[in-house]
Structures are given as C-alpha cells and as structure tokens.
Amino acid sequence: MALGYAVLSIVSVTMLFALLYWNTAIFVAEQTEETIEAEITGLAEHYRQAGLFGLTEVIQERAQGQRLSLYLLTDPNRRPIAGNLNSWPAETQPGTWIDFDYQRPVGSRMVEHRAHARHLVLPGGFHLLVGYDVQDQVRLERRMRQSMIWIGALALVLGLGGGLLMARHWLSRVDSVNKTLSEIMDGDMSRRVPVSGTNDELDRLARNLNDMLNRIEALMTGLRQVTDNIAHDLRSPLNRLRTRLDVTLMADQDKEAYREALSQTVVETDELLKTFNALLLIGEAESGLDWSNLEWVDLTSRLGDVVELYEPAAEDAGLSLDAHIAEGLGVRGNPNLISQAVVNVLDNALKYTPKGGRVCVEAGIENERPYVLVSDTGPGIPAEERDRVLDRFVRLEGSRSTPGSGLGLSLVAAVAKLHQASLTLGDNKPGLIVRLDFPKPNGR
C-alpha cells in the first residue's frame, strides 16, 4: 500500500513537471520561430526591392556585434556572400527548419552553440539562412530536465518513506485491535480495544467495537443470569416433585391415593411451567432485545384495562381498588410487558393487603415524565429492606422459593430496566408504594 502511494505521488509530480516543461519549451521555440519568420520575410522583401546588393548590405549591418541572430547569404553554389556564419551548416531542403551547432566567439574562446534556422531560396538561386542562437533555451531545458529528475527522486524517497512510516503506524494500531479481538475470541471478554485519543477513523472504529463488546458482554451476563436463575428456580420444585412421586411408589396404595398424588403432581408441574415462562419473560425483558421494536403504548387505556380486570378480585378480597389515571398518557414500550408489570404489582398488593384495606392505582405526569404508582395499605416493606429488595431485583438473586412475589417483582424491575424507567419503593404509612417513572417522551 505504501509503495502504491509512493508510485502515485511520483507519477503525479513527474507529470506535473513534464507538462510545465513541454509548455515552456514549446512556447519559447514558437517565439523563436516567429522572430525568424518575421526577419526572413522582411529580408526577402528587401531583396525584391533593393536587389542583391541591398540585401548584402543589410545583412552585413545586422550581422555586426554580439547579437543572437544568425545570417548567411550564399550564391547558388552555397558559397558565402555575407553573414555572420562561416559556412552553410548542413545539407538542407529549401523552405525547411534546421537545427545545427556552430562555433561562437565568447570572449577569446570559441564555444559550440546550438542554433535554430530557416532556409529560403531567393529568386536568382541565392540561398538565405536566417537563424537564432538557442543555446540559452537548450541550457534551460537541460536544467529543467535535471530538476525533474531530482524532484522525482526526492518525491520517491519522501513518498516511499512517509508512506511506509504512515502504513507502519496504522498497521501497528490495526494489529493491536486484531490482537485484542483475538484475545476476546479466546475467551477474555473483559478486554477492550485501545483508543489512541486522536479521534480519527481508527479511533472511532475502536470506540464502536468497544461499544459493541460492552453490549455483547451485557447480553451474555444477562443470559448467564437467566440460566443460573432457571437452574435455581426449577431445581427445588423438581426435587419436591420427584420426592412426592418416589414416596407414592414406596408402598402399594389404593387407586384414589395414586390419583390424588398424580393430580397434585400436575398442579405442581403447572406451577413449574408458570415459573419457567415468567423466567423466560424476565430474561427477555432484561436482555433489552426488544428495545428496537417498542411501540407507542396508550398507558391510560392499558391501566384502565388492568384496573377493570382486578376490580372484581379486589372486591372479593374485601379491598377497595381506586384508580386516578390521567387522560392521554403514553410511553414508548412493549404494551404486553407494561401490562404485566402493573398486573404483578397489583397481584402483590391484593395478596398482602388485609381485608378492608385500600389499593390505589395512580398515573400522571410529573416533571414531564409519565409515572405509574400502585399503593396499598398492607404491611409494606421496611425502609432498610427496600434497598436490599431492589438490589435483589437487579441481580435477580435471593429467595424465590415461593413462586409469585419474588419473581413478580423481578419482572417489574426487568420491565422498568427495559423501558429505562426508574423503579422506587416507598412508604405509604402504612403500606407500600411501588412507583415507575418512565423517561421523558421525546418526539411524539
């Protein structure tokens, strides 16, 4: 890659100079030819008017001194008549341009110079050669060619060196990313890709990779937790079930006893299935996998439905169920999970509140955030226990040997987390307040 860049830079620099060179050379050459053309036309005209003698005179006059113009007038046999060239320089065709070298006096020495000239045949067979000393141009061109080679070489060294250096730097950073990734693939999920802090493309890539790794790690942790919980929550009821069947089989019993044992088993299995489903749901809510396809949930009508569902049950339990639900409440979320979270809190409230008590579902907006709270007049949870209980929600640890409460609140915590809502437990004096504050709705 470094070589590629070096070659590219050399080629472009060379092309740039070649263009400059050609343009300059052609321009100067054209200028010279125009000058010669004008002079030769003027001399031919003069010959027509003043004859051979007049022309000779003008040429003699012009050939004086150190001028760069060159003249040679010869007879039809190319013997010199006038001019500042000693002899006809080369075999030429009339009317063509020629390049030739000639000896020019510089100080006391004779130096070979290059000239550019045009050959014209005058009426009467006389040959006229008008030229121009182009040694300066030749020198300029040579100088430019040399510069071009030097610049090309310099570009080659700089391009190659710089390219190599840069590639080395990037490659070493990419290498360190690769090294980290292969370490992670080897099982060390705690590793993160180094970020140099320059905030360039590679840094942004590294940051995105790290974000992705964090997400994957969180998902993996969630998955592991769910697996641990399932193992824990299902092991004890399964053991209980197995013991019951074992004991039933130990002695011969009548048909009715078997039937009783089996139907008890079915009931317990149903509980197991319920626990299993609840755990799966918690895992699903905790992993947050559904965040992308959450929809707009009409909280007002959802809560109304839940209250309506529980009203008869509350009445049967000798409780009053009040609802203070503001109109037009909405949050972004999973409607089924929100309903279930509220249902679980209500389940608890109904279960723990003694007869004659009051359960209240309230919802509204506070500080622009939609909130839902369920309060009861039950025993509540002591303040020092609340943190522990909340703690337990998050880690999904602790006593869940009785299906229901623990699992139910765990789900509420998971649903709150999924919706980025805060879950708080408060004192209703007496009783418990479970409150969910949803994030401020943005947009809609």
Q: How far apart are CB 228 and other proteins at their closest, in Å?
A: 20
Q: How far apart are CB 415 and other proteins at their closest, in Å?
A: 11
Helix axes 335-352, 405-418, angle to 10 degrees: 150
Q: Are 122 and 128 in contact (CB under 8 A)?
A: yes
Q: How far apart are CB 337 and other proteins at their closest, in Å?
A: 9
Compute and round to an integer the Cα radius of gyration of the chain. Answer: 51
CB-wise, 3 or 313, nearer to other proteins?
313
β-sheet bridge partners, residue 372: 363, 436
CB-wise, 180 or 275, nearer to other proteins?
275
Q: How far apart are CB 313 and other proteins at their closest, in Å?
A: 4
Q: Which amino acid is at 99?
A: D
Q: How far apart are CB 7 and other proteins at their closest, in Å?
A: 54
CB-wise, 59 or 413, nearer to other proteins?
413
Q: Is the peptide bond before 105 cis (omega within 30 degrees of 0)?
A: no
Q: How far apart are CA 420 and CA 423, in angstroms?
A: 9
CB-wise, 184 or 319, nearer to other proteins?
319
Q: Are 430 and 380 in contact (CB under 8 A)?
A: yes
Q: How far apart are CB 436 and other proteins at their closest, in Å?
A: 18
CB-wise, 24 or 300, nearer to other proteins?
300
CB-wise, 324 or 351, nearer to other proteins?
351
Q: How far apart are CA 44 and CA 65, in angstroms?
A: 22
CB-wise, 311 or 427, nearer to other proteins?
311
Q: Are 340 and 411 in contact (CB under 8 A)?
A: yes
Please name the residues in contact with 132: beta carbons below 8 A apart, sequence gap of 6 or more.
32, 35, 36, 68, 69, 70, 115, 116, 117
Q: How far apart are CB 316 and other proteins at their closest, in Å?
A: 5
Q: How far apart are CB 266 and other proteins at their closest, in Å?
A: 7
Structure tokens at 364: 């509204």
CB-wise, 162 or 335, nearer to other proteins?
335
Q: How far apart are CB 215 and other proteins at their closest, in Å?
A: 19
Residue 425, Cα to own-chain centre: how many angstroms?
Answer: 43
Q: Are 413 and 395 in contact (CB under 8 A)?
A: no
CB-wise, 331 or 346, nearer to other proteins?
346
CA distance readout (Å), 14 to 139, 147, 249, 320: 20, 10, 97, 92
CA distance readout (Å), 83 to 78, 114, 132: 13, 17, 13
Q: Are 129 and 43 in contact (CB under 8 A)?
A: no
CB-wise, 34 or 270, nearer to other proteins?
270
Please name the residues in contact with 363: beta carbons below 8 A apart, sequence gap of 6 or more.
299, 300, 303, 324, 325, 326, 329, 370, 371, 372, 373
Residues forming contacts to other proteins in the complex (CB under 8 A) are 263, 266, 270, 273-274, 276-277, 280-281, 284, 290, 293, 305, 308-310, 312-313, 315-316, 334, 336, 339-340, 343-344, 346-347, 350-351, 403-404, 408
Q: How far apart are CB 278 and other proteins at their closest, in Å?
A: 8
Q: How far apart are CA 329 and CA 311, in angstroms?
A: 21
- Burial annotation 152-174 (CB, 10 A radius, 16+ → b, else e): eeebbeebbeebbeebeeeeebe
